[in-house]
Amino acid sequence: MKITVIGTGYVGLVSGACFADVGNTVLCLDVDVRKIERLNQGEIPIHEPGLDVIVARNAAAGRISFSTDYDVAVAHADVIFIAVGTPPDEDGSADLRHILSAAKSIGQRIVKPLVVVDKSTVPVGTADAVRKTIADEIAKRGMSVEFSVVSNPEFLKEGAAIDDFMRPDRIIVGSDDANATKVMRQLYAPFGRNHDKLIVMDVRSAELTKYAANAMLATRISFMNELANLAEVLGADIDAIRLGIGSDPRIGPHFLYAGMGYGGSCFPKDVKALLKTSVDHGRSLHILDAIERVNDAQKNILFTKICAHFGGVAALSGKTIALWGLSFKPNTDDMREAPSLVLIQQLLAANCKVRAYDPVAGEEASRMSTLENGEALCRDLLTIAPSAWAAVDGADALAIVTEWKEFRSPDFDRLAKTLAAHVIFDGRNLYDPDLVAAAGLDYHAIGRIGKGVRQ
């Protein structure tokens, strides 16, 4: 099948590459000239394990190409996926300008029947707006062309997107057109050979399903963070509690890890967008509102622990704090709304020196010029270290911010000799408190108990 994917960001590039890898002919379009130049030179503009190999393989086979030419892109396609960004507006709503601009460009060029697929995460009713935009442009040209608009939300985890796409646990298709549904079944057949993974529903339900899924996961994260903070006060261990409740099949073990809160490009944006949708329709989603408040507060948790250990904010002045991890999660360079940014902002405001290391996001951090609050970044106080041990060299304390594998089993004896204040603040609960204590280190985690914790 001939597929055009509009947008070569995270969702668009992964989708295009995976469709090409099962034999489709894919053209990926983007209005960013530099990005397309890089892709045509074999460079991948995002970090996603395995994506470079798949793109290179299919480019060599002639199954995937990259262009900025809308005329070529629309003429090429039997199916067009819209996978452009939907950043949050100031009021929290999803900004649909890029979606509707893509729809307008399709409508100005369509001359044959097409299936247009909303792949981006969009509010309920977006497919109707896309359909109207395309139809209006066709009418302006005095033509009559059949087309369908389908919702096909993505459920890709950054860092595991290739596997998620190739081996999906479900494929949601929102369609009110039998022929469009047939096309989507044909398109996704290679990804569900063992059993049919397509779940077909009406368009509006599909649009809401994506938001509901991310909101549910965000709920689990915030719930566990609230519970961890209570467990800490009560002298209970959130890790034991996680195992206890996760063994219940009605609950399951996933997304039950306490930490510094969620970040990234999806959960924060989608929770805000769903809240805005509810307000616009005269409803209040009290649980979601609480989830967001809890998450915002949880991003402050490590700084609060650092202040308490050293005797207040004023006592931090001149201290050097090493950070292990900058991305919002492992296996990605994405720092959007990452808890690390909040912590860095707070440490720099307290006149701390920060030495940070991340296996992948270090380059992204080196390009940062502003903090989360928009303030200019003080480069005199922030250093991006080339390795984990370079970050802790000369530091007073270590803060674990992202749970990268290489941080899971460090040499605690070496850390005890290196860290001047002999203390670790673990925002991801990576370590056994007793093991850390045995090395002579103070250990402050999230809702944990043990000899290494001095609360």
Active-site amino acid positions: 266
Neighbouring-strand partners of residue 2: 25
How far apart are the C-alpha atoms of 165 and 154, rounded to whole Å?
9
SS3 content of the chain, % helix, strand, coil (to 5): 45, 15, 40
How far apart are the C-alpha atoms of 209 and 294, rounded to whole Å?
23
Which stretch of DSSP H or E encloses residue 66? strand 64-67
Is there a contact between 54 and 19 (Cβ–Cβ < 8 Å)? no
What phi, psi does 105 have (nearest 5°)?
A: -65, -35
How far apart are the C-alpha atoms of 36 and 62, rounded to whole Å?
16
Which stretch of DSSP H or E encloses residue 309? helix 301-310
How far apart are the C-alpha atoms of 13 and 15, rounded to whole Å?
5
In three-state form (DSSP H/G/I as H, E/B as E, the rest C), the secondary structure along 189-206 is HHHCCCCCCEEEECHHHH
How far apart are the C-alpha atoms of 68 and 11, rounded to whole Å?
17
CA-CA distances (angstroms) from residue 123 to 130, 238, 271? 12, 35, 11
Q: The sheet that has 382-384: what strands, in order across it?
A: 382-384, 353-357, 320-324, 397-400, 423-426, 442-444
Provide the terminal-to-terminal Cα distance of the chain, rounded to the nearest Å. Answer: 61
